[in-house]
């Protein structure tokens, strides 16, 4: 008697943890990436059953590489756990009739203007906005929306190219540096604390797994400085956020798998920032696992492949992460790492700048130069241990002259 083949999880440029999650729920794994030797992907390949070099953002190349799997005698699904890979996976799953989220739903969530307009119609939480498809019209559009307002790409993600416009001068300055047809959305500035909502969907039913509090540097840069999961919210506010998230996912036609929805709690209640058909960035997924015992990748893979769903929500703890920022210069050493790791509750200290490397400027792409992560039994204890860990870390950075910086950049 032959043993039927295991269900197959095809993973687009995943983290190693996603490969391990797939194997843990009983799936075999195939990693696809444009460069299998790239740091991060290389570690995933080491844990996978198989791997192929594929430019998966090119749909025709992806189909040529895996089209034969349509005849494979086992359940298969393609997974992408980031913005571009989730869209590519949904399109490929639909073409090959594999289980997964509808491509139209994932695409809808990437179009901030379309989503904003529909959510405004279907909820009691409208946000003023307009499209701006010509740089020459930006000043007039911003005036109609009202200052302060925010201009960002209609299909951007990760906080990239988001601009706070405080007045006409800001709008004129931004317009001068834009291409003639920039495809922007300009919307009112939402003031209040920010939250990330992680959810999982099955056959159109949405389950909110956690709401995390996002910490930022504040306007105008609003750089991300960390997260706390779960957020401390009263029952009424929590329910209002849940309702907004469910309405947003229904509006997009989101049917299955993970999602992240970003919300700002204004004085008039929660308002949508944007939503995505994939888990939140790595720190949030890690915090969800630490605090609640829920592995989003394992849950998504098991659900799509019809495998037993992993136990989740088995813990009731508080997890948090804080970005580390280093002064400009060359990083010579970081003292105190062992001391920080020895603090009760600290689970990880990561420094992303190699010793001897130049410390990059913090931007929307480079939120920090590392991070410290902790898990505790209460929110006050969490804040205290994260602060203590940051205090004991002592980076040794040698300043460099402007000429040396220019030479290094060249």
Which CATH number characterizes residue 78's domain? 3.40.50.20
Q: Are residues 169 and 215 in the same domain?
A: no
1 pLDDT more than 90 = no
Q: Are residues 33 and 62 in the same domain?
A: yes
409 pLDDT more than 80 = no
- The residue-averaged pLDDT of 34-61 equals 95
Residue with tokens 């706070």, as numbered in its chain: 164
Q: Are residues 206 and 248 in the same domain?
A: yes
Residue that finishes a domain, picked among 100, 120, 155: 100
CATH number assigned to the domain comprising residue 195: 3.30.470.20
pLDDT of residue 66: 95
- Would the CA dihedral through 268, 274, 280, 281 be positive or negative? negative
Residue 295 lies in a domain: no
pLDDT of residue 367: 67
114 pLDDT more than 70 = yes
Q: Which two tokens stand for residue 354?
A: 């190699």
Determine which of 17-26, 197-206, 215-224 has the lowest per-residue pLDDT on average. 215-224
- The residue-averaged pLDDT of 52-66 equals 96
**HSE on the CB side for 241, CA within 13 Å?**
30
Residue 28 lies in a domain: yes
Q: Are residues 337 and 374 in the same domain?
A: yes
What's the rounded Cα separation, in Å, for the pair 319 and 289?
Answer: 9
Rg (CA), the chain: 22
Q: Are residues 85 and 161 in the same domain?
A: no
Q: For 17-20, which contacts have Cβ atoms below 8 Å and span 24 or more sequence positions?
A: 17/297, 18/44, 18/79, 18/81, 18/297, 18/301, 19/44, 19/47, 19/48, 20/47
- For the chain, give the number of residues: 410
Tens of pLDDT, residues 333-374: 999 999 999 999 999 999 988 889 898 877 654 467 899 999
Give the range of the structural domain holding residue 154, as residue numbers without chain letter.
128-188
pLDDT of residue 198: 96
Residue 232 lies in a domain: yes
Q: Residue 97 — left, alpha, or beta (φ > 0 → left; ψ -120 to 50 → alpha)? A: left
What's the rounded Cα separation, in Å, for the pair 82 and 64?
Answer: 22
Nearest in space to 149 (alpha carbons), one of 133, 132, 164, 127 = 164
What's the rounded Cα separation, in Å, for the pair 374 and 104?
Answer: 38
Residue that finishes a domain, picked among 281, 310, 330: 281
Residue 376 lies in a domain: yes
User: Structural domain tally of the chain?
Assistant: 4
69 pLDDT more than 90 = yes
Residue 264 lies in a domain: yes
Residue 293 lies in a domain: no
- Would the CA dihedral through 18, 20, 23, 29 be positive or negative? positive
Q: Are residues 146 and 229 in the same domain?
A: no
Residue with tokens 């601009």, as numbered in its chain: 163
Residue that finishes a domain, picked among 151, 171, 188: 188
pLDDT of residue 365: 47
Residue 407 lies in a domain: no
Q: Are residues 87 and 12 in the same domain?
A: yes
Cis? peptide before 148, omega within 30° of 0: yes
Q: What φ, ψ does residue 148 adopt, rounded to 5°?
A: -70, 150
Q: What φ, ψ does residue 357 adopt, rounded to 5°?
A: -95, 160
Q: CB-based contacts of 202: which residues, under 8 Å, 6+ apart? A: 256, 303
CATH number assigned to the domain comprising residue 177: 3.30.1490.20
Nearest in space to 51 (alpha carbons), one of 69, 29, 71 = 29
Q: Are residues 182 and 202 in the same domain?
A: no
Decide: helix, strand or coil at residue 209.
strand
Q: Are residues 12 and 34 in the same domain?
A: yes
Residue 342 lies in a domain: yes
Q: Are residues 204 and 272 in the same domain?
A: yes
Decide: helix, strand or coil at residue 267.
coil
Rounded percentage of the chain residues whose pLDDT exceeds 70: 93
Q: Cα–chain-centroid distance for residue 397?
A: 30
Q: Are residues 335 and 350 in the same domain?
A: yes
Residue with tokens 């993973």, as numbered in its chain: 11
- The residue-averaged pLDDT of 268-285 equals 90
pLDDT of residue 410: 47
157 pLDDT more than 90 = no
Residue with tokens 């032959």, as numbered in its chain: 2
Residue with tokens 């799953």, as numbered in its chain: 93
Q: Are residues 140 and 203 in the same domain?
A: no
């Amino acid at each position: 008697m032959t043993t039927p083949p295991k269900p197959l999880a095809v993973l687009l440029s995943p983290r190693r943890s996603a490969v391990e999650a797939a194997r843990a729920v009983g799936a075999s794994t195939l990693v696809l990436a444009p460069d299998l030797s790239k740091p991060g992907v290389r570690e995933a390949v080491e844990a996978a059953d198989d791997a192929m070099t594929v430019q998966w953002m090119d749909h025709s190349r992806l189909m040529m590489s895996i089209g034969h799997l349509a005849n494979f005698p086992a359940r298969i699904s393609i997974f992408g756990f980031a913005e571009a890979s989730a869209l590519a996976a949904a399109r490929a799953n639909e073409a090959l009739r594999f289980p997964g989220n509808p491509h139209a739903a994932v695409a809808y969530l990437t179009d901030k203007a379309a989503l904003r307009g529909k959510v405004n119609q279907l909820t009691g939480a409208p946000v003023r906005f307009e499209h701006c498809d010509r740089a020459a019209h930006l000043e007039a559009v911003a005036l109609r929306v009202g200052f302060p307002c925010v201009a960002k790409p209609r299909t951007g993600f990760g906080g990239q190219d988001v601009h706070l416009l405080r007045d006409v001068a800001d709008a004129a300055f931004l317009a001068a540096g834009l291409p003639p047809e920039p495809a922007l959305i300009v919307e009112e500035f939402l003031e209040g604390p920010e939250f990330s909502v992680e959810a999982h969907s099955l056959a159109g039913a949405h389950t909110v797994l956690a709401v995390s509090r996002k910490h930022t540097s504040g306007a105008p840069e609003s750089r991300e400085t960390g997260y706390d999961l779960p957020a401390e919210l009263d029952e009424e506010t929590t329910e209002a956020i849940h309702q907004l998230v469910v309405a947003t996912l229904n509006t997009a036609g989101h049917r299955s798998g993970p999602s992240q929805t970003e919300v700002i709690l204004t004085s008039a209640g929660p308002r949508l920032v944007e939503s995505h058909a994939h888990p939140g960035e790595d720190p949030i997924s890690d915090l969800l696992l630490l605090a609640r015992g829920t592995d989003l990748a394992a849950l998504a893979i098991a659900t799509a492949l019809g495998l037993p769903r992993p136990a989740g929500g088995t813990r009731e703890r508080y997890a948090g992460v804080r970005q580390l920022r280093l002064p400009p210069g060359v990083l010579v050493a970081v003292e105190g790492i062992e001391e920080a790791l020895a603090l009760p509750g600290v689970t990880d200290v990561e420094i992303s700048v190699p010793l001897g490397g130049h410390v990059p400027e913090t931007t929307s792409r480079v939120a920090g130069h590392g991070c410290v992560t902790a898990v505790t039994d209460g929110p006050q204890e969490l804040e205290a241990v994260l602060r203590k860990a940051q205090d004991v870390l002592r980076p040794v950075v040698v300043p460099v002259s402007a000429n040396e910086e220019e030479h290094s950049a060249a």
